[in-house]
């Protein structure tokens, strides 16, 4: 079905169902997510190839690059929407179905931010995806706790070490939970470049202003770059088959450019704060001091000579 | 013997050995770095890929052994990545695909391993294109580079046959086996 027509029907339905409450949903994020969820339900009923859109689980819940573009255009916020388009009679049944779907979803979309956030990241996804958002939240919370100046009971008794450990644990949890199908090696290496840098920094962590600045930079890289790289978007794409291919290609392009940015950003943070990050020479010196048993040594030599 | 200010093209075993606590290889490579003045160093994408693959296996082995701390494993992995970030890494075969393929065919007579041939052919194209003052192909691979004389003869023949005057090079690459 034509994309513009679907959109027109959707926007009409939203106005009708929400009435005066339409303000709750008319921000880009919610509008886009409601559109995708409606199309997903519609696809379930009519067959996914009948809807001209594909979507997956990205940084902040359900997402579609194409839908994101569509809702970045002002036209869909203005009433009446696209007045030059008329909905043909034969689509009235579909519009009715759509209305039914939107009605069922409306309550969730009128919720306050925290509840809406919980709905998107915790209620909607299942299994591994839900776990992914939980782990990401754990990392973000651990960052916040360490960055904030709030004095907690644990910070008094443990002089902040437990907060550092919380971040360490969250990062380890993240590393252990990631499974990539597309660009697996590049994405994994990029993730490790970030986590190794962060963890080695945490070994030198002090509760001072510079370290908090570094943490803030690292948290920003996590949100701006790491999340784009590790989100299970390519792995969870659903919807129209042709559009899935387009979305996949577009996402992999974004991942590629984010990986490059990530490496540059980490290098730049490390180079700005050499007192807190080991240089290559430091690392090589430390590596030489590591002792290993004969047994492991011979197994390593076997790998080397393979 | 090798003089100072060497321009290195690194084989994968060098990069791996330099970054793992595995005597005697680590010591040999470290000593080389400590005693030489390095003017430049580079390697090819193929080596980077090979190193990454071996590194995964080695780190897995270290992890399973329980002998290394989490921090030690991170240090090794981060050191290798930072090493690659600090040197130019290129696919030199794209500089002249025809010559690259020809070198591969010519080298087949003296080198069995196809991956080694591809890496060495990359080194030859690097030398030909950048013409560094003191180009050295650095490797630990005694087995495949045993017949140095035969390898260099194959390269010289191939370059001559392709109209490259070897005399125009500051130096034909030297194979240095640590």
d(CA B90, CA B100): 14
Average pLDDT over residues A49-62: 92
**Contact: B79, A284; criterion CB under 8 Å:** yes
Instruction: Say if the Cβ atoms of A199 and B74 lie within 8 Å.
Output: yes
Share of chain B above pLDDT 90, in %: 71
Given an 8 Å threshold on Cβ–Cβ distance, is B16 in contact with A280? no
Beta bridge partners of A49: none
- Over residues B82-131, the pLDDT tens digits come to 999 999 999 999 999 999 999 999 999 999 899 999 999 999 999 999 99
Assign A78 a pLDDT band (cuts: 50, 70, 90).
very low
- Provide the CA A225 distance to its chain's centre, in angstroms: 9
Q: Which residue has the tokens 């793992």?
A: B20
pLDDT in tens, B61-76: 999 999 999 999 999 9
Flag whether pLDDT at A207 surpasses 70: yes
Which range is least confidently modeled, A139-143, A206-210, B3-7? B3-7
pLDDT at A151: 59
Considering only CB atoms, A283 lies closest to which of B17, B54, B79, namely: B79
Distance CA A58, CA B98 (A): 44
Q: What is the pTM for the complete model shown? A: 0.90
Phi, psi (deg, nearest 5) at residue B135: -75, 130
Residues B125 and B96: beta-carbon distance below 8 Å: yes
In this structure, is the dihedral angle defined by the CA atoms of residues B113, B115, B116 and B122, taken in order, positive or negative?
A: positive
Are B124 and B95 in contact by the 8 Å Cβ rule? The answer is no
The continuous run of DSSP H or E covering B10 comes out as strand B6-10
The answer to whether the Cβ–Cβ distance between B65 and A296 falls below 8 Å is: yes
Q: Which residues of A touch B70 (CB under 8 A)?
A: 172, 199
Rounded to the nearest integer, the mean pLDDT of chain A is 89
Q: Is there a contact between B75 and A286 if contact means CB atoms under 8 Å apart? A: yes
Taking only the tens place, the pLDDT of each residue in A23-52 is 778 777 888 999 999 999 999 988 888 888
**Percentage above 70 pLDDT, chain B:** 97
Q: Is the pLDDT of residue B171 over 50?
A: yes
Kindly state whether B63 is in contact with chain A, defined as any CB-CB distance less than 8 angstroms.
Answer: no
Quote the minimal CA–CA distance from B81 to chain A in Å. 7
Q: Which residues of chain B are within 8 Å of residue A197 when distances are taken between CB atoms?
A: 78
pLDDT of B3 over the 80 cut: no
Question: Which residue does chain A place closest to B19, by CA atoms?
Answer: A284
With a cut of 90, say whether residue A62 has pLDDT above it.
yes
Q: Which residue of B has its CA nearest to A172?
A: B70
* B57 vs A: CB within 8 A: yes
Q: Which among B25, B58, B75 has CB closest to A200?
A: B75
The pLDDT score that the predictor gives to residue A77 is 52
Of A287, A293, A297, the CB nearest to B76: A287
Please state, in angstroms and rounded to a whole number, the distance separating the CA atoms of residues B60 and B6: 34
* Residue B106 CB burial class (10 angstroms; 0-12, 13-18, ≥19): buried
In this prediction, residues B5-29 reach a mean pLDDT of 90
pLDDT digits (tens, 9 = 90+) for A122-138: 999 988 999 999 999 99
B165 — contact with chain A (CB < 8 Å)?
no
- Which residues touch B123 (CB under 8 Å, ≥6 apart)? B9, B44, B92, B135, B137, B173
Q: What's the mean pLDDT in A244-270?
A: 97
Burial A75-85 (b: 16+ CB within 10 A, else e): ebeeeebeeee
Q: Taking Cα atoms as reference points, which of B51, B63, B122, B55 lies closest to residue B92?
A: B122
Please tell me whether residue A226 adopts helix, strand or coil conformation: helix
Minimal Cβ distance to A296: which of B54, B57, B67 = B67
pLDDT at A158: 52
Pairing of strands B174-177, B38-44: unpaired
Ranges of H-type helices in A49-183: 65-70, 92-109, 113-118, 127-147, 153-158, 161-177
ipTM (interface pTM): 0.90
């Amino acid at each position: 079905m034509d994309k513009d027509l679907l959109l027109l029907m959707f926007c009409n339905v939203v106005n009708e169902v929400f009435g005066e409450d339409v303000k709750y949903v008319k921000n880009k994020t919610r509008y886009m997510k409601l559109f995708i969820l409606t199309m997903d339900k519609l696809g379930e009923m009519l067959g996914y190839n009948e809807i001209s859109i594909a979507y997956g689980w990205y940084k902040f819940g359900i997402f579609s690059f194409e839908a994101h573009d569509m809702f970045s255009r002002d036209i869909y916020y203005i009433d009446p929407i696209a007045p030059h388009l008329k909905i043909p009679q034969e689509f009235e049944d579909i519009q009715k179905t759509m209305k039914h779907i939107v009605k069922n979803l409306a309550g969730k979309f009128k919720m306050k931010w925290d509840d809406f956030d919980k709905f998107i990241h915790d209620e909607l996804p299942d299994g591994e995806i839900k776990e992914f958002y939980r782990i990401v939240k754990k990392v973000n919370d651990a960052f916040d706790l360490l960055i904030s100046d709030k004095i907690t009971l644990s910070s008094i008794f443990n002089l902040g070490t437990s907060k550092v450990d919380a971040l360490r644990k969250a990062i380890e949890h993240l590393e252990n939970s990631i499974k990539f199908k597309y660009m697996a090696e590049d994405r994994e290496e990029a993730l490790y470049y970030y986590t190794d840098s962060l963890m080695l920094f945490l070994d030198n962590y002090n509760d001072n202003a510079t370290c908090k600045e570094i943490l803030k930079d690292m948290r920003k890289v996590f949100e701006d770059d790491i999340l784009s790289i590790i989100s299970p978007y390519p792995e969870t794409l659903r919807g129209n088959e042709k559009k899935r291919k387009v979305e996949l290609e577009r996402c992999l392009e974004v991942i590629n450019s984010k990986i490059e940015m990530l490496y540059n950003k980490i290098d730049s943070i490390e180079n700005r704060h050499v007192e807190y990050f080991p240089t290559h020479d430091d690392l090589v010196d430390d590596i030489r001091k590591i002792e290993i048993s004969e047994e492991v040594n011979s197994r390593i030599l076997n790998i080397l000579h393979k | 013997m090798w003089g100072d200010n060497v321009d290195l093209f690194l084989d994968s075993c060098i990069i791996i050995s330099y970054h793992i606590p595995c005597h005697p290889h680590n010591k040999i490579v470290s000593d080389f770095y400590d005693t030489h003045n390095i003017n430049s160093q580079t390697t090819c994408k193929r080596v980077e890929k090979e190193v990454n693959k071996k590194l995964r296996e080695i780190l897995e082995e270290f992890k399973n052994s329980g002998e290394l701390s989490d921090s030690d494993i991170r240090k090794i992995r981060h050191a290798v990545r930072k090493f690659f970030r600090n040197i130019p890494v290129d696919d030199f075969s794209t500089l002249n695909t025809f010559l690259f393929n020809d070198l591969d065919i010519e080298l087949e007579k003296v080198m069995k391993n196809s991956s080694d041939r591809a890496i060495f052919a990359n080194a030859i194209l690097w030398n030909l294109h950048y013409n560094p003052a003191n180009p050295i192909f650095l490797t630990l691979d005694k087995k495949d580079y045993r017949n140095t004389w035969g390898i260099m003869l194959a390269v010289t023949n191939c370059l001559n046959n392709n109209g490259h005057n070897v005399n125009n090079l500051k130096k034909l690459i030297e194979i240095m086996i640590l």
